[in-house]
Structure 1
Amino acid sequence: MVGAVAEVRFIHVDAEDAGQRLDNFLLKHLRKVPRPLIYRIVRKGEVRVNKGRAQVSQRLKAGDVVRIPPVKLPDSPERVTPPASQVPRIEQAILFEDDDLIVINKPSGMAVHGGSGVSWGLIELVRNARPLAKRVELVHRLDRDTSGAIILAKKMSVLRDLHQQIREHQVTKLYWTLVKGRWPKALMKVEHPLRKFTLPSGERRVEVHPAGKPSLSFVRLLVDLGQASLIEVKLATGRTHQIRVHCAANGHPIAGDDKYGDAEFDQWQARQGMHSLALHARMVAFKHPKTGEQVKIFAPLYPDFDKLLRHHQLSQKEIS
């Protein structure tokens, strides 16, 4: 360790930072500290909010006091500049952009941010591609293997507004996913409490458990393919791996799911040319924070998912 943030600091949260997640707030004030280290000091209780322990996902309020401890910095910086060759890939995936926000069709396999063994992710790519945007932040998250529409804010006021819309269930997100077997048309509501746990290997998983957090998904059958079903899912809650676990718990695991899936079903999927997780954020709708207009954006399926549908003589444009 060659450097350190040497003194304890107590920072008062102002109106500009109200509504921000604690991890993003800390990244702003500890710019040279890698994200995994920030997560570690929060888990160890070294970061305090109003003298109490906190979680990285905690939303801060105006007037909160955040205690930031001394932090030793690693010998070599862990902040990595994403390869310039990846920037065109993201530019081509932009679905909507103005001075306030960006909506991107995130590819499967791309993390939304660096950390946990990933040196860079979507947010680092966008910041690299938009150096004049002062505050590019993720409005919400998608799993690394989930593709589709994701919103990024360019201004703190826009981020706060969209977070408020999410809390008030004013942001609509629809997902398309291919699941094993015939999903019952009458099964339109899945409600299982979900709890996170850790395997002996250290891998984090989610399970249905009575002590878990309430979790609700609304489901609509789009196409019955016999061996599989294409369904549309609307989330009423946004728990980690919610769609994946809810589908698996009902006996219909998602194709390509290496955590909760079915190996034989994945082989069937692979024979039709798709090797990634068949879960796609198909649509996002929200009220534009600045104009007040309703924005609805559809994210086209990536070629492998689209190819699988076309194998069954289906067009994503014809499915409703």
Structure 2
Amino acid sequence: MKKIFFCTYMCLAFNTLFSQNPEDILTNLNFPTSLTIIGDDLYFSQIDGSINKIDITESNPNISSVATGFSTILALANDGSSLYITENGAGEISSYNLNDSSSSTLINNLSDPRGLGVYQNKLYYAEWLNGTISEINISSPSSPNTIISSSLGYTPILINGSKLYYSSHFENNISVIDLAQPNPVPSVVVSVPSNLFGLAMIGDELFFSQESGKVSKIDVTENSPAIEDVITDLGSNNPYGMVSSGDDLYVALSTTGKIIRYSTNNNLSTTEFESTDNVLVYPNPVNNKLIIESSDTISKVIVINQIGQRVITSNTSEINLSTLENGFYMLIIHNEFGSITKKIFKN
């Protein structure tokens, strides 16, 4: 009887896990617009010109103030030590040094600057009213070079490796150029049904947020990629900036003042590991410290509670569960080949 109850209970928990995706990680924000990731820190801007950050490994992250006083931020980018900021209201792009908290204007007199990206000490930016995408040298930003020119307004930019993906609000397509080429030629990747606000990449999948209230994706390795909707019913003009970290996609929902997290790794099967017997989790039941042993290197462990919320994210094989309430939990254990799940009970 106990075994039947346990199996039924855990099946319900698995179903709840799926229904909880995506999940709110921040609420009650002031029109969040753009996102960027450095390590475990998610930086986000709000319409009031402020930049804040959270630690995405925390189950209930605290918001830390980074900087204030900017003018209508619509895009953020980083090179690991500095943030780059489009000040749409001022027609400027600024830099903010995270080491000494100093800021400076890189370039001004821009026509409605929007998308941003960094590649090999160069900053790429889109101007909506000019219909251009240009590059500047971060060390000497006085001489911009226009690489794409059109009469249409470009908004999101995503740089993945040497590839720069971009979209126009009026062309309704996503195009790409290779920045490693001396004279890059644009090519259309896919036509899209509505205007886009954000782009993000996970593996070979390109995600994009649409004005129609959807987040969709394509496989960029396909010649004629099919569009698959992954998040729907977010509301008109709602999903704005996006960024990825590992298997997770973060989306700013501007009009509802939220940032959500969508896990793209919903395959909880054990086939990716050589054998589930290669992974040992003990003690189980557990009081405080949980130990994971595996013949493969563990890259990440996610602890999910009974209502599908991520309560702990760790990259170590020893996890402190002392702060969790008693009850059943699921572990999603990742390595370079894939992931498996394990069930545990916390005493």
Note whether the superposition's TM-score is higher than 0.5: no
Higher Rg of the two aligned structures? 2
Task: Report the TM-score, using the length of structure 1 for normalisation.
Answer: 0.29
Task: Report the TM-score, using the length of structure 2 for normalisation.
Answer: 0.27
Q: Which has the higher helix share?
A: 1
